Amino acid sequence: MNLHGKNFIGDQLSSGGGDILRAVSPLDNEPLPGSFYAANATDVDRAMDLADLAFQSYGKTSGAERAAFLDRIADEILALGDELISRAQLETGLPQARLTGERGRTVGQLRLFAQVVRDGCWVDARVDHAIPDRQPVPKPDLRRMLIPIGPVVVFGSSNFPLAFSVAGGDTVSALATGNTVVVKAHSGHPGTSELVASAVSRAVSASKLPAGVFSMVHGAGKVVGVQLVRHPLARAVGFTGSRIAGRALFDAAAARPDPIPVFAEMSSLNPVFILPQALRERTAQIADGLRASMTMSVGQLCTKPGLVFGMQGPDLDRFQQALARALEAVAPATMLHAGIGESYHAGVARASVVDGVSLLARSLTAADREKTQAESVLLRTDVVNFHKHPELAEEVFGPFAVLISAQTMAELEEIARGLEGQLTATVHGTPEDLESAQELLRLLERKAGRLIINGFPTGVEVCPSMNHGGPYPATTDVRFTSVGTAALYRFVRPVCYQDFPETLLPTELKEENPLHLRRIVDGKSIE
């Protein structure tokens, strides 16, 4: 494996001029081969200039052309073979099976978006014909569609080094709809990022697209990221990460002379409510599902359940025992990087010493800190105490949850009313339970982007119906999803063409509908 460590500025490589970064494996906290060069301000400018220039032509490519490009990216990623998986393993500590699955999701995502743009209906084409003899004034011919917004800045996330990083969900949403992309590589997996960037780069040149369609820069800390977000040519930002970093980017974008949208997916506790009959009848099943959902990927998932509510009593005690035993048996495992590991240990320690909180379970095998390992931990408290200590409602990213006992349904409703925004909220219940939980469900609908009955929040499908989003602080924009095909709507804008001659109309809006799109014509949906 030969990593050059440079920034991809269109089809040029730059060794920046700033700091040199090293990748460190969380598996042993030793540096990995390869030096990576933080981009300097010139790199950022050139990447954005090229992205803007490339947008002029890439923004006008057909859906078929872009679909072929996305498919080619998928092919090039697969062609990286085992090298990609093994580097990602070293950089993130994630197991091979998980990374192989994630590569499948990444490639599947690219091919799914390729289908969507090949189909073309996403442009939401609308045609209103002229009525020249309308009184008191003639009606002009008006046609509208969605077009790309311009250069998009994408931040690679640490917990999905493939599916939400260089060629992940944000990048594919932006490229599919005709935007150009400048990626800020996550400093936790720079080598993985370089490999994927080289694959995208090869796809750009094989597809004969202008080089500025894709750039990728390295950088640790905030400097390069903030330069990108503040850059005058940036038109939108996609980010998945911590609440502090996401809010900083949102604030920087909102303070621009011309504010731009930031889609930051940040923080979620994914509360799970277990109603009484379900708790009694499916004790072991729910405990086992919860254990799996809490500890999958060492709890480093945005949708990991972090708060579990049940009704006080012997059923909850039985459930608690089952869950505690299951979690004790979970072996400590390596987290993504030392920083996440430290945050996890600090978060667990902070919550554990809160008054009225008791420890229910901790992995029986001790975590090896030299391997950046984390133990699974379960705490318990009650609703009254939970209300007293808002710090218990702060996300602890890792295999950790708090089990909270309530006395009444009204208490659960009060909890729901007081929640911050969430990506997901889950309710377990029998039909009778659910009948009595309609107010709870109504309240949760206002707080979360996805509601789950008798399931678990982890495992986010990539499909048209997915919504991976939610009220602040789950995201900075409740109106959009970052997973699933609807994610492309983040990077587009409508334009109306009034009285355009047929020859100048975009193909999607031509009278004869050559692409056979479903369109709203004079108020009716037709194909």
Please, which residue, 79 or 254, has the CB nearer to its own copies?
254
**Which residue in 33, 221, 418, 464 binds its own copies (CB under 8 A)?**
464
Other C-beta atoms lying within 10 Å of the C-beta of residue 299 = 26
Quick check: 232 binds its own copies (CB under 8 A)? no
- Strand ranges inside 366-407, DSSP E: 373-374, 377-382, 400-406
Q: Which of 76, 91, 102, 302 is catalytic?
A: 302
Residues 6+ apart with CB under 8 A from 213: 51, 54, 58, 175, 180, 181, 204
**Which residue in 149, 217, 377, 401 binds its own copies (CB under 8 A)?**
149
Task: Reply yes or no on whether 265 is catalytic.
Answer: yes
**Which residue in 94, 147, 209, 403 binds its own copies (CB under 8 A)?**
147
Stretch touching its own copies by CB under 8 A, among 20-28, 147-155, 186-194, 345-353: 147-155
Separation CA 394–CA 351 (nearest Å): 9
CA distances from 449 to 192, 230, 527 (A): 31, 29, 31
Quick check: 245 binds its own copies (CB under 8 A)? no
At closest approach, how far in Å is the CB of 173 from its own copies? 13
Please, which residue, 199 or 448, has the CB nearer to its own copies?
448
**Which residue in 1, 64, 79, 254 binds its own copies (CB under 8 A)?**
254
Q: CA torsion sign, 309 to 310 to 313 to 315?
A: negative
Task: Reply yes or no on whether 370 is catalytic.
Answer: no
Within 44-63, which residues bind its own copies (CB under 8 A)?
56, 60
At closest approach, how far in Å is the CB of 317 from its own copies? 27
Other C-beta atoms lying within 10 Å of the C-beta of residue 362 = 21
**Which residue in 452, 482, 508, 515 binds its own copies (CB under 8 A)?**
452
393-416 as b/e: b if 16+ CB within 10 A: bebbbbbbbbbbbbeebebbbebb
Please, which residue, 158 or 422, has the CB nearer to its own copies?
422
Within 58-87, which residues bind its own copies (CB under 8 A)?
60
List the Cα angle 166/168/173 in 5-degree steps: 115
Separation CA 307–CA 369 (nearest Å): 26
Which one, of 177, 148, 143, 178, lies nearest residue 510 by Cα? 143
At closest approach, how far in Å is the CB of 453 from its own copies? 5
HEC per residue, 212-252: HHEEEEECCCCHHHHHHHHCCCCCEEEEECCHHHHHHHHHH
Within 471-490, which residues bind its own copies (CB under 8 A)?
471-473, 476-481, 486
**Which residue in 33, 461, 511, 516 binds its own copies (CB under 8 A)?**
461
Quick check: 41 binds its own copies (CB under 8 A)? no
Across the strands, what pairs with 144?
A: 126, 496
DSSP 123: G
Q: Site size for its own copies, by CB under 8 A?
A: 75
Q: Kind of pairing, strands 519-521 and 524-526?
A: antiparallel
**Which residue in 151, 261, 276, 305 binds its own copies (CB under 8 A)?**
261
Within 90-129, which residues bind its own copies (CB under 8 A)?
101, 121, 126-128
**Site mask for its own copies (CB under 8 A), range 407-446, x = bound:** -------------xx---------x--x---x--xx--xx
At closest approach, how far in Å is the CB of 469 from its own copies? 7
At closest approach, how far in Å is the CB of 301 from its own copies? 14
Backbone phi and psi for residue 466, each to the nearest 5 degrees, phi listed first:
-65, 140
Quick check: 526 binds its own copies (CB under 8 A)? no
Q: Which of 194, 265, 375, 508 is catalytic?
A: 265
Pairs from 438-442 (Cβ < 8 Å, separation ≥ 24): 439/413, 440/273, 440/409, 440/412, 440/413, 440/416
Quick check: 495 binds its own copies (CB under 8 A)? yes
Quick check: 1 binds its own copies (CB under 8 A)? no
Residue pair 428/282 in contact (Cβ under 8 Å)? The answer is yes
- Positions annotated as catalytic residues are 265, 302
